[in-house]
Structure 1
Amino acid sequence: MVRTIVVRVVCSFLVWLSLYSASWYQNKHRTPEWSDRFVTLIHGLIVTFLSGYVALIDGPWPLTHPGHPNTTAQINLLCLSLGYFIFDFGWCVHYNSEDELMLYHHILSIFGMGGVLLLGESGSEVNAIIFVSEITNPLLQIRWFLRDTGHYHSIAGDVVDALFVLLFLGLRIIGGVWIVDAVLNSSKPNWEVKAGVLIMYLVSIVFTWDICSFARKKLMSKYYSWRNERNRGEHSSSNGHVLAH
Protein backbone atom coordinates (compact mmCIF):
# COMPACT_ATOMS: atom_id res chain seq x y z
CA MET A 1 0.00 0.00 0.00
CA VAL A 2 2.81 2.43 0.90
CA ARG A 3 4.60 1.68 -2.36
CA THR A 4 1.41 2.37 -4.32
CA ILE A 5 0.94 5.70 -2.58
CA VAL A 6 4.55 6.70 -3.24
CA VAL A 7 4.17 5.83 -6.93
CA ARG A 8 0.97 7.90 -7.19
CA VAL A 9 2.57 10.90 -5.50
CA VAL A 10 5.64 10.68 -7.74
CA CYS A 11 3.40 10.46 -10.82
CA SER A 12 1.45 13.48 -9.61
CA PHE A 13 4.67 15.43 -9.09
CA LEU A 14 5.82 14.56 -12.61
CA VAL A 15 2.47 15.64 -14.08
CA TRP A 16 2.68 19.08 -12.44
CA LEU A 17 6.33 19.42 -13.36
CA SER A 18 5.54 18.50 -16.98
CA LEU A 19 2.68 21.01 -17.07
CA TYR A 20 5.00 23.71 -15.75
CA SER A 21 7.72 22.80 -18.25
CA ALA A 22 5.26 22.87 -21.16
CA SER A 23 3.91 26.25 -20.05
CA TRP A 24 7.41 27.66 -19.63
CA TYR A 25 8.42 26.37 -23.08
CA GLN A 26 5.38 27.99 -24.70
CA ASN A 27 5.81 31.26 -22.78
CA LYS A 28 9.57 31.86 -22.74
CA HIS A 29 8.92 35.58 -23.10
CA ARG A 30 7.27 35.55 -19.68
CA THR A 31 8.75 35.07 -16.21
CA PRO A 32 8.99 31.62 -14.57
CA GLU A 33 6.44 32.84 -12.03
CA TRP A 34 3.87 33.14 -14.81
CA SER A 35 4.11 29.41 -15.54
CA ASP A 36 4.12 28.52 -11.84
CA ARG A 37 1.00 30.64 -11.29
CA PHE A 38 -0.62 28.90 -14.25
CA VAL A 39 0.05 25.48 -12.72
CA THR A 40 -1.22 26.72 -9.35
CA LEU A 41 -4.42 27.97 -11.00
CA ILE A 42 -5.04 24.60 -12.68
CA HIS A 43 -4.33 22.75 -9.43
CA GLY A 44 -6.68 25.03 -7.50
CA LEU A 45 -9.54 24.55 -9.96
CA ILE A 46 -9.16 20.76 -10.17
CA VAL A 47 -8.64 20.16 -6.46
CA THR A 48 -11.47 22.50 -5.43
CA PHE A 49 -13.90 20.62 -7.65
CA LEU A 50 -12.67 17.17 -6.57
CA SER A 51 -12.47 17.94 -2.84
CA GLY A 52 -15.94 19.50 -2.95
CA TYR A 53 -17.28 16.40 -4.66
CA VAL A 54 -15.59 14.08 -2.15
CA ALA A 55 -16.80 16.07 0.87
CA LEU A 56 -20.33 16.91 -0.24
CA ILE A 57 -21.34 14.01 -2.50
CA ASP A 58 -19.04 10.99 -2.24
CA GLY A 59 -18.60 11.28 1.54
CA PRO A 60 -18.25 10.62 4.33
CA TRP A 61 -19.26 13.95 5.84
CA PRO A 62 -16.12 15.40 7.50
CA LEU A 63 -17.95 16.99 10.44
CA THR A 64 -19.38 13.65 11.55
CA HIS A 65 -16.72 11.17 10.40
CA PRO A 66 -13.29 12.54 11.36
CA GLY A 67 -10.68 9.86 11.91
CA HIS A 68 -12.42 7.28 9.71
CA PRO A 69 -10.49 5.13 7.18
CA ASN A 70 -9.55 6.85 3.94
CA THR A 71 -11.70 6.15 0.91
CA THR A 72 -10.30 5.54 -2.56
CA ALA A 73 -11.46 8.99 -3.71
CA GLN A 74 -9.76 10.65 -0.74
CA ILE A 75 -6.50 8.78 -1.37
CA ASN A 76 -6.48 9.77 -5.05
CA LEU A 77 -7.14 13.41 -4.20
CA LEU A 78 -4.47 13.53 -1.50
CA CYS A 79 -1.87 11.97 -3.81
CA LEU A 80 -2.74 14.45 -6.56
CA SER A 81 -2.48 17.46 -4.26
CA LEU A 82 0.59 16.20 -2.39
CA GLY A 83 2.50 15.89 -5.66
CA TYR A 84 1.62 19.50 -6.47
CA PHE A 85 2.70 20.84 -3.08
CA ILE A 86 6.05 19.05 -3.35
CA PHE A 87 6.54 20.60 -6.79
CA ASP A 88 5.50 24.10 -5.69
CA PHE A 89 7.58 23.97 -2.52
CA GLY A 90 10.64 23.07 -4.57
CA TRP A 91 9.88 25.90 -7.01
CA CYS A 92 9.45 28.44 -4.19
CA VAL A 93 12.72 27.41 -2.56
CA HIS A 94 14.60 27.47 -5.88
CA TYR A 95 13.39 30.95 -6.82
CA ASN A 96 13.16 32.24 -3.22
CA SER A 97 9.76 33.65 -4.10
CA GLU A 98 7.83 33.28 -0.83
CA ASP A 99 8.21 34.37 2.77
CA GLU A 100 8.74 31.99 5.67
CA LEU A 101 5.03 31.77 6.57
CA MET A 102 4.10 30.49 3.12
CA LEU A 103 6.95 27.98 3.18
CA TYR A 104 5.80 26.74 6.58
CA HIS A 105 2.30 26.42 5.16
CA HIS A 106 3.65 24.24 2.33
CA ILE A 107 5.66 22.11 4.75
CA LEU A 108 2.63 21.60 7.01
CA SER A 109 0.51 20.68 4.00
CA ILE A 110 3.08 18.17 2.74
CA PHE A 111 3.53 16.47 6.11
CA GLY A 112 -0.20 16.59 6.82
CA MET A 113 -1.28 14.94 3.58
CA GLY A 114 1.65 12.51 3.61
CA GLY A 115 0.96 11.52 7.21
CA VAL A 116 -2.74 10.92 6.58
CA LEU A 117 -1.94 8.81 3.53
CA LEU A 118 0.51 6.65 5.48
CA LEU A 119 -1.81 6.51 8.48
CA GLY A 120 -4.72 5.34 6.34
CA GLU A 121 -7.31 7.45 8.13
CA SER A 122 -8.54 11.02 8.72
CA GLY A 123 -8.86 11.64 4.99
CA SER A 124 -12.31 13.21 5.41
CA GLU A 125 -11.17 16.12 7.59
CA VAL A 126 -7.99 16.74 5.58
CA ASN A 127 -10.06 16.71 2.38
CA ALA A 128 -12.37 19.30 3.94
CA ILE A 129 -9.37 21.48 4.83
CA ILE A 130 -8.14 21.21 1.24
CA PHE A 131 -11.55 22.34 -0.01
CA VAL A 132 -11.87 25.43 2.21
CA SER A 133 -8.22 26.31 1.58
CA GLU A 134 -8.03 25.83 -2.18
CA ILE A 135 -11.39 27.36 -3.13
CA THR A 136 -9.84 30.83 -2.85
CA ASN A 137 -6.59 29.94 -4.61
CA PRO A 138 -7.89 30.34 -8.20
CA LEU A 139 -9.07 33.84 -7.33
CA LEU A 140 -5.64 34.69 -5.94
CA GLN A 141 -4.01 33.55 -9.19
CA ILE A 142 -6.55 35.36 -11.37
CA ARG A 143 -5.79 38.51 -9.39
CA TRP A 144 -2.09 38.09 -10.13
CA PHE A 145 -2.76 37.58 -13.86
CA LEU A 146 -4.98 40.67 -13.92
CA ARG A 147 -2.12 42.66 -12.41
CA ASP A 148 0.40 41.17 -14.82
CA THR A 149 -1.73 42.10 -17.84
CA GLY A 150 -2.65 45.56 -16.55
CA HIS A 151 -6.35 44.81 -16.00
CA TYR A 152 -6.41 44.69 -12.21
CA HIS A 153 -7.71 48.24 -11.67
CA SER A 154 -11.11 47.47 -13.14
CA ILE A 155 -14.47 45.99 -12.19
CA ALA A 156 -13.01 42.51 -12.75
CA GLY A 157 -10.28 43.21 -10.19
CA ASP A 158 -12.80 44.50 -7.67
CA VAL A 159 -15.04 41.43 -8.12
CA VAL A 160 -12.10 39.03 -7.74
CA ASP A 161 -10.90 40.78 -4.57
CA ALA A 162 -14.38 40.84 -3.05
CA LEU A 163 -15.00 37.15 -3.77
CA PHE A 164 -11.58 36.22 -2.40
CA VAL A 165 -12.11 38.04 0.91
CA LEU A 166 -15.67 36.74 1.35
CA LEU A 167 -14.79 33.12 0.57
CA PHE A 168 -11.65 33.23 2.71
CA LEU A 169 -13.47 34.57 5.75
CA GLY A 170 -16.63 32.55 5.18
CA LEU A 171 -15.14 29.15 4.43
CA ARG A 172 -11.55 29.10 5.61
CA ILE A 173 -12.16 30.95 8.88
CA ILE A 174 -15.82 30.38 9.83
CA GLY A 175 -16.07 26.99 8.13
CA GLY A 176 -12.65 26.09 9.50
CA VAL A 177 -13.93 26.53 13.05
CA TRP A 178 -16.48 23.76 12.49
CA ILE A 179 -13.83 21.43 11.08
CA VAL A 180 -11.43 22.10 13.97
CA ASP A 181 -14.24 21.67 16.51
CA ALA A 182 -15.33 18.35 14.96
CA VAL A 183 -11.77 16.99 14.93
CA LEU A 184 -10.83 18.11 18.45
CA ASN A 185 -14.05 16.81 20.00
CA SER A 186 -13.88 13.43 18.26
CA SER A 187 -12.19 10.47 19.91
CA LYS A 188 -11.12 8.87 16.61
CA PRO A 189 -8.37 11.12 15.20
CA ASN A 190 -5.01 10.71 16.94
CA TRP A 191 -3.26 13.64 18.59
CA GLU A 192 -0.95 14.25 15.61
CA VAL A 193 -3.94 14.82 13.32
CA LYS A 194 -5.62 17.06 15.88
CA ALA A 195 -2.46 19.11 16.35
CA GLY A 196 -1.96 19.40 12.59
CA VAL A 197 -5.53 20.58 11.97
CA LEU A 198 -5.24 23.14 14.76
CA ILE A 199 -1.89 24.45 13.50
CA MET A 200 -3.22 24.79 9.95
CA TYR A 201 -6.13 26.81 11.26
CA LEU A 202 -3.80 29.06 13.24
CA VAL A 203 -1.82 29.68 10.05
CA SER A 204 -5.08 30.73 8.39
CA ILE A 205 -5.68 33.17 11.26
CA VAL A 206 -2.28 34.75 10.60
CA PHE A 207 -3.18 35.09 6.91
CA THR A 208 -6.47 36.69 7.96
CA TRP A 209 -4.67 39.63 9.53
CA ASP A 210 -2.98 40.44 6.21
CA ILE A 211 -6.22 39.95 4.27
CA CYS A 212 -8.23 42.19 6.58
CA SER A 213 -5.52 44.86 6.34
CA PHE A 214 -5.65 44.59 2.55
CA ALA A 215 -9.47 44.78 2.51
CA ARG A 216 -9.43 47.85 4.76
CA LYS A 217 -6.86 49.65 2.59
CA LYS A 218 -8.79 48.85 -0.60
CA LEU A 219 -12.12 49.99 0.87
CA MET A 220 -10.57 53.23 2.13
CA SER A 221 -8.94 53.78 -1.27
CA LYS A 222 -12.31 53.28 -2.99
CA TYR A 223 -14.01 55.61 -0.52
CA TYR A 224 -11.47 58.41 -0.98
CA SER A 225 -11.65 57.99 -4.75
CA TRP A 226 -15.45 58.22 -4.66
CA ARG A 227 -15.34 61.25 -2.36
CA ASN A 228 -12.85 63.04 -4.60
CA GLU A 229 -14.98 62.36 -7.66
CA ARG A 230 -18.04 63.64 -5.82
CA ASN A 231 -16.26 66.80 -4.69
CA ARG A 232 -15.07 67.47 -8.23
CA GLY A 233 -18.61 66.97 -9.49
CA GLU A 234 -20.05 69.37 -6.92
CA HIS A 235 -17.32 71.91 -7.71
CA SER A 236 -18.11 71.71 -11.43
CA SER A 237 -21.83 72.10 -10.71
CA SER A 238 -21.17 75.13 -8.51
CA ASN A 239 -19.05 76.76 -11.17
CA GLY A 240 -21.74 76.16 -13.73
CA HIS A 241 -24.39 77.65 -11.42
CA VAL A 242 -22.30 80.80 -10.82
CA LEU A 243 -21.57 81.25 -14.51
CA ALA A 244 -25.24 80.87 -15.35
CA HIS A 245 -26.02 83.92 -13.25
Structure 2
Amino acid sequence: MVSVPLEVTCSLLAWLVLYISFCHWNKHRSREWSCRLVTLLHGVIVTCLSGYVTLLDGPWPLTHAGSPNTSLQIHVLCLTLGYFLFDLGWCLYFQTEGYLMLFHHTLSICGMILVLALGKSATEVTAVVFVSEITNPLLQTRWFLRETGCYHTLLGEVVDFFFVFLFLVLRIGGGALLMYAMVTSPDPSWLLKAGGLAMYIVSLAFMIEICRFVRRKMVKKYHSWTGLRSVGAPVKSNGHWTAQ
Protein backbone atom coordinates (compact mmCIF):
# COMPACT_ATOMS: atom_id res chain seq x y z
CA MET A 1 0.00 0.00 0.00
CA VAL A 2 2.97 2.33 0.47
CA SER A 3 3.97 2.04 -3.18
CA VAL A 4 0.48 2.83 -4.54
CA PRO A 5 0.26 6.38 -3.10
CA LEU A 6 3.83 6.99 -4.24
CA GLU A 7 3.02 5.77 -7.76
CA VAL A 8 -0.11 7.94 -7.94
CA THR A 9 1.87 10.96 -6.72
CA CYS A 10 4.56 10.35 -9.35
CA SER A 11 1.87 10.06 -12.02
CA LEU A 12 0.26 13.33 -10.91
CA LEU A 13 3.61 15.12 -10.95
CA ALA A 14 4.47 13.66 -14.37
CA TRP A 15 1.24 14.95 -15.94
CA LEU A 16 1.72 18.32 -14.25
CA VAL A 17 5.30 18.64 -15.52
CA LEU A 18 4.15 17.63 -18.99
CA TYR A 19 1.45 20.31 -18.90
CA ILE A 20 3.95 22.98 -17.79
CA SER A 21 6.29 21.90 -20.60
CA PHE A 22 3.50 22.18 -23.17
CA CYS A 23 2.66 25.66 -21.86
CA HIS A 24 6.30 26.66 -22.26
CA TRP A 25 6.53 25.22 -25.78
CA ASN A 26 3.21 26.74 -26.87
CA LYS A 27 3.38 30.23 -25.38
CA HIS A 28 1.29 31.63 -28.23
CA ARG A 29 -1.51 29.15 -27.45
CA SER A 30 -4.09 29.12 -24.66
CA ARG A 31 -3.76 27.12 -21.44
CA GLU A 32 -6.58 24.90 -22.65
CA TRP A 33 -4.53 23.99 -25.73
CA SER A 34 -1.74 22.63 -23.51
CA CYS A 35 -4.17 20.86 -21.19
CA ARG A 36 -5.90 19.17 -24.11
CA LEU A 37 -2.53 18.02 -25.43
CA VAL A 38 -1.99 16.28 -22.09
CA THR A 39 -5.51 14.84 -22.29
CA LEU A 40 -4.90 13.59 -25.83
CA LEU A 41 -1.62 11.93 -24.82
CA HIS A 42 -3.21 10.36 -21.75
CA GLY A 43 -6.13 9.08 -23.82
CA VAL A 44 -3.86 7.36 -26.35
CA ILE A 45 -1.54 5.82 -23.72
CA VAL A 46 -4.23 4.65 -21.31
CA THR A 47 -6.47 3.32 -24.09
CA CYS A 48 -3.62 1.13 -25.32
CA LEU A 49 -2.62 -0.02 -21.82
CA SER A 50 -6.14 -0.66 -20.53
CA GLY A 51 -7.07 -2.35 -23.81
CA TYR A 52 -4.11 -4.70 -23.48
CA VAL A 53 -4.96 -5.48 -19.86
CA THR A 54 -8.65 -6.02 -20.60
CA LEU A 55 -8.49 -7.90 -23.89
CA LEU A 56 -5.17 -9.76 -23.72
CA ASP A 57 -3.60 -9.92 -20.26
CA GLY A 58 -6.83 -10.63 -18.38
CA PRO A 59 -8.68 -11.76 -16.45
CA TRP A 60 -11.84 -11.30 -18.51
CA PRO A 61 -14.03 -8.64 -16.80
CA LEU A 62 -17.39 -10.18 -17.80
CA THR A 63 -16.63 -13.43 -15.98
CA HIS A 64 -14.12 -12.41 -13.27
CA ALA A 65 -15.61 -9.24 -11.78
CA GLY A 66 -14.30 -8.68 -8.27
CA SER A 67 -11.11 -10.70 -8.79
CA PRO A 68 -7.86 -9.63 -7.05
CA ASN A 69 -5.89 -6.83 -8.68
CA THR A 70 -2.90 -7.75 -10.82
CA SER A 71 0.29 -5.70 -10.76
CA LEU A 72 -0.28 -4.45 -14.31
CA GLN A 73 -3.83 -3.37 -13.49
CA ILE A 74 -2.52 -1.45 -10.48
CA HIS A 75 0.06 0.36 -12.60
CA VAL A 76 -2.56 1.36 -15.20
CA LEU A 77 -4.99 2.63 -12.54
CA CYS A 78 -2.25 4.57 -10.75
CA LEU A 79 -1.27 6.22 -14.02
CA THR A 80 -4.80 7.26 -14.91
CA LEU A 81 -5.68 8.23 -11.31
CA GLY A 82 -2.79 10.69 -11.32
CA TYR A 83 -4.11 12.17 -14.57
CA PHE A 84 -7.68 12.50 -13.29
CA LEU A 85 -6.41 14.29 -10.17
CA PHE A 86 -4.48 16.69 -12.39
CA ASP A 87 -7.40 17.27 -14.77
CA LEU A 88 -9.94 17.76 -11.98
CA GLY A 89 -7.66 20.32 -10.35
CA TRP A 90 -7.19 22.11 -13.69
CA CYS A 91 -10.94 22.18 -14.39
CA LEU A 92 -11.71 23.53 -10.92
CA TYR A 93 -9.01 26.20 -11.15
CA PHE A 94 -9.95 27.45 -14.61
CA GLN A 95 -13.69 26.65 -14.23
CA THR A 96 -13.98 25.30 -17.77
CA GLU A 97 -16.32 22.34 -17.22
CA GLY A 98 -19.90 21.90 -16.10
CA TYR A 99 -21.22 19.92 -13.16
CA LEU A 100 -21.71 16.74 -15.21
CA MET A 101 -18.04 16.49 -16.22
CA LEU A 102 -16.87 17.37 -12.70
CA PHE A 103 -19.17 14.68 -11.29
CA HIS A 104 -17.76 12.19 -13.82
CA HIS A 105 -14.18 13.02 -12.77
CA THR A 106 -15.06 12.76 -9.07
CA LEU A 107 -16.72 9.37 -9.53
CA SER A 108 -13.75 8.09 -11.53
CA ILE A 109 -11.28 9.20 -8.86
CA CYS A 110 -13.32 7.71 -6.01
CA GLY A 111 -13.78 4.43 -7.89
CA MET A 112 -10.08 4.01 -8.62
CA ILE A 113 -9.10 4.91 -5.04
CA LEU A 114 -11.61 2.37 -3.70
CA VAL A 115 -10.37 -0.40 -5.99
CA LEU A 116 -6.72 0.26 -5.16
CA ALA A 117 -7.53 0.32 -1.43
CA LEU A 118 -9.60 -2.90 -1.52
CA GLY A 119 -7.07 -4.78 -3.65
CA LYS A 120 -9.77 -6.21 -5.92
CA SER A 121 -12.17 -5.32 -8.77
CA ALA A 122 -9.46 -3.63 -10.90
CA THR A 123 -10.48 -6.08 -13.63
CA GLU A 124 -13.82 -4.42 -14.31
CA VAL A 125 -12.62 -0.88 -13.51
CA THR A 126 -9.76 -1.17 -15.99
CA ALA A 127 -12.30 -2.33 -18.59
CA VAL A 128 -14.44 0.71 -17.78
CA VAL A 129 -11.38 2.91 -18.28
CA PHE A 130 -10.84 1.30 -21.68
CA VAL A 131 -14.39 1.81 -23.00
CA SER A 132 -14.46 5.34 -21.58
CA GLU A 133 -11.07 6.59 -22.77
CA ILE A 134 -11.11 5.10 -26.27
CA THR A 135 -13.25 8.01 -27.52
CA ASN A 136 -11.19 10.67 -25.75
CA PRO A 137 -8.47 11.04 -28.43
CA LEU A 138 -11.19 11.60 -31.03
CA LEU A 139 -12.89 14.18 -28.83
CA GLN A 140 -9.63 16.09 -28.39
CA THR A 141 -8.82 15.80 -32.10
CA ARG A 142 -12.21 17.33 -32.85
CA TRP A 143 -11.38 20.29 -30.58
CA PHE A 144 -7.99 20.83 -32.21
CA LEU A 145 -9.58 20.70 -35.66
CA ARG A 146 -11.99 23.43 -34.60
CA GLU A 147 -9.19 25.57 -33.20
CA THR A 148 -7.15 25.29 -36.38
CA GLY A 149 -10.10 25.86 -38.73
CA CYS A 150 -10.01 22.33 -40.14
CA TYR A 151 -13.18 20.96 -38.59
CA HIS A 152 -15.52 21.51 -41.55
CA THR A 153 -13.58 19.09 -43.75
CA LEU A 154 -13.73 15.40 -44.59
CA LEU A 155 -11.37 14.71 -41.68
CA GLY A 156 -13.78 16.42 -39.31
CA GLU A 157 -16.66 14.28 -40.61
CA VAL A 158 -14.60 11.09 -40.14
CA VAL A 159 -13.62 12.07 -36.59
CA ASP A 160 -17.25 12.83 -35.67
CA PHE A 161 -18.47 9.55 -37.14
CA PHE A 162 -15.98 7.36 -35.30
CA PHE A 163 -16.47 9.28 -32.06
CA VAL A 164 -20.23 8.75 -32.09
CA PHE A 165 -19.88 5.14 -33.30
CA LEU A 166 -17.34 4.12 -30.64
CA PHE A 167 -19.23 5.97 -27.91
CA LEU A 168 -22.49 4.17 -28.65
CA VAL A 169 -20.97 0.73 -29.25
CA LEU A 170 -18.30 0.59 -26.54
CA ARG A 171 -19.20 3.12 -23.87
CA ILE A 172 -22.96 2.50 -23.95
CA GLY A 173 -23.17 -1.08 -25.27
CA GLY A 174 -19.96 -2.40 -23.73
CA GLY A 175 -20.58 -0.37 -20.58
CA ALA A 176 -23.99 -2.03 -20.17
CA LEU A 177 -22.38 -5.48 -20.32
CA LEU A 178 -19.76 -4.48 -17.75
CA MET A 179 -22.43 -2.98 -15.52
CA TYR A 180 -24.49 -6.17 -15.68
CA ALA A 181 -21.45 -8.34 -14.90
CA MET A 182 -20.51 -6.15 -11.96
CA VAL A 183 -24.00 -5.99 -10.45
CA THR A 184 -24.74 -9.72 -10.81
CA SER A 185 -21.38 -10.86 -9.44
CA PRO A 186 -21.28 -11.41 -5.66
CA ASP A 187 -17.61 -10.41 -5.34
CA PRO A 188 -17.50 -6.62 -6.04
CA SER A 189 -18.24 -4.25 -3.17
CA TRP A 190 -21.75 -2.82 -3.03
CA LEU A 191 -20.19 0.64 -2.93
CA LEU A 192 -18.36 -0.08 -6.17
CA LYS A 193 -21.57 -1.37 -7.74
CA ALA A 194 -23.36 1.86 -6.78
CA GLY A 195 -20.50 3.92 -8.19
CA GLY A 196 -20.50 1.90 -11.40
CA LEU A 197 -24.23 2.45 -11.81
CA ALA A 198 -23.75 6.19 -11.26
CA MET A 199 -20.97 6.23 -13.88
CA TYR A 200 -23.23 4.53 -16.40
CA ILE A 201 -25.99 7.05 -15.73
CA VAL A 202 -23.46 9.82 -16.43
CA SER A 203 -22.58 8.08 -19.71
CA LEU A 204 -26.28 8.02 -20.61
CA ALA A 205 -26.45 11.75 -19.92
CA PHE A 206 -23.48 12.26 -22.26
CA MET A 207 -25.23 10.07 -24.83
CA ILE A 208 -28.29 12.35 -24.76
CA GLU A 209 -26.04 15.34 -25.48
CA ILE A 210 -24.36 13.45 -28.33
CA CYS A 211 -27.71 12.46 -29.83
CA ARG A 212 -28.78 16.12 -29.74
CA PHE A 213 -25.52 17.04 -31.49
CA VAL A 214 -26.10 14.42 -34.20
CA ARG A 215 -29.68 15.60 -34.67
CA ARG A 216 -28.60 19.25 -35.03
CA LYS A 217 -25.87 18.27 -37.48
CA MET A 218 -28.23 16.18 -39.61
CA VAL A 219 -30.90 18.92 -39.64
CA LYS A 220 -28.28 21.49 -40.62
CA LYS A 221 -27.04 19.29 -43.47
CA TYR A 222 -30.61 18.66 -44.63
CA HIS A 223 -31.44 22.38 -44.69
CA SER A 224 -28.18 23.09 -46.51
CA TRP A 225 -28.97 20.43 -49.10
CA THR A 226 -32.58 21.57 -49.62
CA GLY A 227 -31.36 25.18 -49.84
CA LEU A 228 -29.01 24.27 -52.67
CA ARG A 229 -31.79 22.37 -54.44
CA SER A 230 -34.22 25.30 -54.16
CA VAL A 231 -31.86 27.78 -55.81
CA GLY A 232 -30.91 25.36 -58.55
CA ALA A 233 -27.28 25.09 -57.47
CA PRO A 234 -25.22 22.40 -59.18
CA VAL A 235 -24.88 19.15 -57.30
CA LYS A 236 -22.78 16.11 -57.93
CA SER A 237 -24.19 13.17 -59.86
CA ASN A 238 -21.97 10.13 -60.44
CA GLY A 239 -18.92 12.26 -59.74
CA HIS A 240 -19.87 15.04 -62.19
CA TRP A 241 -21.45 18.46 -61.55
CA THR A 242 -24.95 18.65 -62.99
CA ALA A 243 -27.66 21.31 -62.72
CA GLN A 244 -30.94 20.25 -61.13
Secondary structure of 1:152 counterpart: coil
Q: Which residue of 2 aligns with 1:39?
A: 38
Secondary structure of 2:84 counterpart: helix
- 2:5 counterpart of 1:6: yes
Q: Which residue of 2 aligns with 1:94?
A: 93
Q: Distance in 1 between the 2:218 and 2:130 partners? A: 28
Q: Distance in 1 between the 2:234 and 2:168 partners? A: 40
Farther off after superposition, 214-223 or 66-75: 214-223
Q: Deviations over 1:123-163 (max 9, x none)?
A: 01000100110000000000000000001111111111111
Q: Which residue of 2 aligns with 1:229?
A: 228
Alignment of 1:158-173 (within 5 A): 158-173=157-172
Secondary structure of 1:157 counterpart: helix
Q: Deviations over 1:33-81 (max 9, x none)?
A: 0000000000000000111000000000000000000001100000000
Name the amino acid aligned to 2:53: V
Q: Which residue of 2 aligns with 1:53?
A: 52
Name the amino acid aligned to 2:11: S
Secondary structure of 1:117 counterpart: helix
Secondary structure of 1:168 counterpart: helix
- 2:189 counterpart of 1:190: yes
Which structure has the bigger radius of gyration? 1
- 2:153 counterpart of 1:154: yes
Q: Distance in 1 between the 2:13 and 2:157 partners? A: 36
- For structure 1, the 5+ residue unaligned runs are none
Q: Which residue of 2 aligns with 1:66?
A: 65
Aligned-pair distance for 1:97?
Answer: 0.5
Q: Which residue of 1 aligns with 2:217?
A: 218
Name the amino acid aligned to 2:231: R
Aligned-pair distance for 1:235?
Answer: 8.2
Q: Which residue of 2 aligns with 1:22?
A: 21
Q: Distance in 1 between the 2:233 and 2:9 partners? A: 64
Aligned-pair distance for 1:233?
Answer: 3.6
Aligned-pair distance for 1:186?
Answer: 0.5
Q: Distance in 1 between the 2:233 and 2:179 partners? A: 52
- For structure 2, the 5+ residue unaligned runs are 236-241
Aligned-pair distance for 1:226?
Answer: 2.0
Q: Deviations over 1:77-104 (max 9, x none)?
A: 0000000000000000000010011111
Q: Distance in 2 between the 1:175 and 1:50 partners? A: 18
Q: Which residue of 1 aligns with 2:133?
A: 134
Aligned-pair distance for 1:221?
Answer: 1.1
Aligned-pair distance for 1:229?
Answer: 2.4
Aligned-pair distance for 1:234?
Answer: 6.0
Name the amino acid aligned to 2:160: D
Q: Distance in 2 between the 1:139 and 1:59 partners? A: 26
TM-score, normalised by the number of residues in structure 1? 0.94
Secondary structure of 1:13 counterpart: helix
TM-score, normalised by the number of residues in structure 2? 0.94
Q: Distance in 1 between the 2:218 and 2:160 partners? A: 11
Q: Distance in 2 between the 1:235 and 1:215 partners? A: 26
Name the amino acid aligned to 2:192: V
Q: Which residue of 1 aligns with 2:113?
A: 114
Q: Distance in 2 between the 1:182 and 1:34 partners? A: 38
Secondary structure of 1:65 counterpart: coil
Q: Which residue of 2 aligns with 1:199?
A: 198
Q: How many residues align?
A: 237
Name the amino acid aligned to 2:98: D
Name the amino acid aligned to 1:168: F
